[in-house]
């Protein structure tokens, strides 16, 4: 059976690559698996990286494909992709490639060339994608926090000396605000819940999201 591995990292063209992998899988009556190599473990991701991960999970659900997100085990992404492809017994790989200038081709270590060197018997489908400018970061790097029950709901706490254990997660503070405004993210099984925090508190209408 054909096994197609789609490699995604940039949210601007992730859907385009997943669509290509899904079409190939359906044409060959095979299976499509999507790989997202994270730059860091979950608790070290900044908010933009976390939002990208959540977006990828939504795309995987939309196209009914399996998504595997994991931190890179190697300095070079090509090593991680090659090892993953071998573990999955991949027969085809779909990957995006930004058009590079001649100078960039000379100076940069090509991911495509590295994959050709490391993989045998695997077809590479290279999809040309546009070069996009990343948005500036709006949030500080996440820090461990808790949601503590209070009379009118929950409030954010960066302390860990409460008698009653709170709901643990990661708080991403908005840089442009002097108050505790931002988002609290906690893991619920394999999913992540993103909860808006205003002035250190969670609104009553959002309480249902954090009930066990």
Q: Read off the pLDDT of residues 144-153 as tens digits, 9 standing for 90 and up.
A: 888 888 877 7
pTM above 0.75, yes or no: no
Q: Note whether residue 135 is domain-resident.
A: no
Q: Which of 158, 5, 33 has the alpha carbon at shortest distance from 92? A: 5
- Average pLDDT taken over every residue of the chain: 79
| 94-111 confidence digits (pLDDT tens) | 998 776 555 444 444 567
Question: Residue 118: phi, psi to the nearest 5?
Answer: -95, -20
Q: What is the CATH number of the domain that holds 98?
A: 3.40.50.620
pLDDT reported for residue 66: 96
Q: Note whether residue 162 is domain-resident.
A: yes
3-state secondary structure 91-115: CEEEEEEECCCHHHHHHCCCHHHHH
Residue 63 and residue 93 in one domain: yes
Measured between alpha carbons, how far is 51 from 44 in angstroms, rounded to an integer?
13
Q: Residue 74, Cα to own-chain centre: how many angstroms?
A: 17
Q: Could you tell me the residue range of the domain that residue 80 belongs to? A: 3-129
Query: Per-residue confidence at 209, pLDDT binned at 50, 70, 90?
Result: low
Residue 72 and residue 117 in one domain: yes
């Amino acid at each position: 059976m054909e096994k197609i591995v789609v490699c995604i990292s940039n949210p601007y063209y992730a859907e385009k690559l997943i669509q290509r992998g899904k079409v190939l899988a359906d044409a060959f009556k095979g299976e499509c698996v999507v790989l997202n190599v994270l730059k860091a473990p979950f608790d070290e991701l900044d908010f933009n990286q976390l939002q990208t991960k959540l977006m990828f999970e939504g795309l995987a659900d939309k196209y009914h494909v399996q998504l595997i997100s994991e931190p890179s085990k190697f300095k070079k992404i090509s090593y991680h992709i090659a090892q993953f492809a071998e573990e999955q017994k991949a027969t085809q790989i779909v990957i995006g490639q930004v058009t590079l200038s001649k100078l960039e081709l000379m100076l940069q270590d090509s991911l495509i060339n590295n994959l050709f060197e490391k993989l045998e018997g695997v077809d590479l489908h290279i999809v040309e994608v546009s070069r996009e400018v990343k948005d500036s970061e709006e949030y500080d790097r996440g820090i461990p926090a808790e949601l503590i029950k209070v009379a009118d709901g929950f409030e954010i706490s960066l302390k860990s000396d409460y008698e009653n254990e709170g709901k643990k997660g990661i708080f991403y503070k908005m840089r442009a605000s002097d108050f505790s405004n931002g988002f609290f993210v906690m893991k619920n099984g394999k999913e992540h819940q993103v909860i808006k925090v205003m002035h250190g508190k969670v609104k009553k209408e959002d309480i249902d999201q954090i009930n066990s």
